[in-house]
Amino acid sequence: MGILGLIGILLAFAFYCARFIERTSFVIDEQRYYALFDDAMISMQYARNLAHGDGLVWNAGGERVEGFSNPGWVLFMALFHKLSLPPETVSLPIQISSAIFLGLNIVVVWLVGRRLLASELAALLAAGLTAFYFHLNNWALQGMEVGLLTLLLSSAVWLALRARDGGRFSLWPYALLALGTWIRVDMLVPLTALCILQVWQDAPYRRQHLLWGLGLLAASLALQTSLRYWYYGELVPNTYTLKVAGISLAERLRRGLDVLGGFLWDSGWFLALLPLLLLAFWPDKATLLLFALLAGQLAYSIYVGGDAWEHKGGANRFIALAMPLFFLLFVQVLDKLRRTLLQLRPDNWTALASQGVMAALVFTSLFSFNVIHENDARDKWLTIKRPIFVPGTERYTRIGLLINQITTPEARIAVATAGNIIYFADRYGIDMLGKSDKVIASSAPHSVGGTLSNVEDTFRPGHNKWDYQHSIVQLQPDIVAQIWGSSREMAPYLEAGGFEHFELEGFVLYIRTDSSYILWDQVNAQSGK
């Protein structure tokens, strides 16, 4: 049943991915566009400039600012830009690659399940929960590096368990996670957690764990920091400064705990906390390993204050990559409870009924764990409707294409959502929220309580620093493509910069009236002025 069941899950998953990717695309002027989640498209902008020989920068010829947190993923994206694919399709191979990474992760989860769990059914159930976990699939298939990081984390667990069962030391789990820090530096968290646990549990090889675990981590971070300082003149990414500088630890922890509490509640707190029974009644070294890595990701999410899109519900990017480990623990505790029941009443009927109950609980958890904060959550999960973020992606793509049509290549565009608009406009971007602007990133954060209608009443990581004087008046964009915050607060700066309001194709743009980089005939024709 094992291998055939796995093949069935993989075939169903492949169909799901094809459908999901198709549902993230859209047609504009009879041309189908594949575009990624907006933050991923910021990475795509850096990747395109790198592939075209303009350097690892957001704007060709612009200032060197590290406005990304995923250097390895940017390099991966750059490979596809070297193929000279058109902008409307270059995102597709990124999505297909993520689907492959997710599929390989399902196989690794199944392998871990076979080693960790006592039945083939339990291993298949863990693989199935992983395969159809919406939040992991959504982040990965919309272009984020989460799918690859999840594969590296699951593979590190499998290699660590295999080495331990064989009574030997293996450096490969550390090597994979050290590689992960190049894709996204956050992977230092599971690497550190793995090293600490192995040092505690694996006394015969304690020295090797310390040497290779901490050594690879230190070497990786030192080399990354050296390269960053050489190229960007900074010790940390600009995104770190943007999200952490000026934000108190207490505020980050408060929001992070709120985020985690909401995540557990939405997921069905009883089901989400059920694996804790393993620690109470069936603790073993393998189980503690999974718990340590899962706890590390939860703690990291708390430390950074969660993510910027918590209002959508479900697992954020930091938690999602560890959810396959949770599913292994979840299925394991159900299987332990089933086996305990069989010991109390060892008969065929109990065996059959207990397996049915376990399968029913897993099926129920599919709906509980895949919740999102939208009325049509089930339809989005099943791809009956377009996944979350896609309507925004289409809107920003349309704005970018419109700006490309009404401007010359020299135009400068100020944006809040800095991915798809600038990528498809193919114009110089001014990032009003500071990912690619050192001045904004190092400025004091705004108190957003009651100020912004489109964010929560606390800080929103990466979205609570802006400076209209700097972005609009001083940098003098030719078009301000979006309002961030309140229009009343922004209005004096638009007026001081000489901007006029235009509505083109249903989009509101603020255009500097003295700009020579605007194709005014097209603007006036489309706006009716």
pLDDT tens, N- to C-terminus, the chain (529 residues): 679 999 999 999 999 999 999 999 999 999 999 999 999 999 999 999 999 999 999 999 999 999 999 999 999 999 999 998 999 999 999 999 999 999 999 999 999 999 998 788 889 999 999 999 999 999 999 999 999 999 999 999 999 999 999 999 999 999 999 999 999 999 999 999 999 999 999 999 999 999 999 999 999 999 999 999 999 999 999 999 999 888 889 889 999 999 999 999 988 888 889 899 999 999 999 999 999 999 999 999 999 999 988 888 889 999 999 999 999 999 999 888 877 777 767 767 666 777 777 777 777 787 778 888 877 777 888 888 899 999 999 999 999 999 999 999 999 999 999 999 999 999 999 999 999 999 999 998 886 543 333 334 467 888 889 999 999 999 999 999 998 877 788 889 999 889 999 999 889 999 999 999 999 998 888 876 6
Size (the chain), residues: 529
Report how far residue 104's alpha carbon sits from residue 303's, in angstroms, rounded to the nearest whole number: 30
Report how far residue 12's alpha carbon sits from residue 264's, in angstroms, rounded to the nearest whole number: 28
Report how far residue 399's alpha carbon sits from residue 413's, in angstroms, rounded to the nearest whole number: 11
Whole-number pLDDT of residue 382: 82
- Residue corresponding to tokens 């990747």: 47
Count of C-beta atoms within a 10 Å radius of residue 32: 12
User: What SS3 class is residue 281?
Assistant: helix
Secondary structure percentages of the chain, helix, strand, coil, to 5: 65, 5, 30
Whole-number pLDDT of residue 457: 47
Q: Which two tokens stand for residue 481?
A: 């493509």
Task: Specify the amino acid at residue 460.
Answer: R
C-alpha dist (Å) from residue 10 to 19, 99, 124, 320: 14, 11, 11, 20
- Residue corresponding to tokens 């409707």: 385
Report how far residue 316's alpha carbon sits from residue 311's, in angstroms, rounded to the nearest whole number: 10
Report how far residue 464's alpha carbon sits from residue 67's, in angstroms, rounded to the nearest whole number: 16
274: phi > 0 → left, psi -120 to 50 → alpha, else beta; which? alpha
Please state the pTM of the whole predicted model. Answer: 0.93
53: phi > 0 → left, psi -120 to 50 → alpha, else beta; which? left
Helix H segments across 370-436?
A: 377-381, 390-406, 420-425
- Residue corresponding to tokens 């406005």: 67
Count of C-beta atoms within a 10 Å radius of residue 426: 18
Count of C-beta atoms within a 10 Å radius of residue 328: 30
Whole-number pLDDT of residue 456: 44
Are the C-beta atoms of residues 413 and 390 closer than 8 Å to each other? no
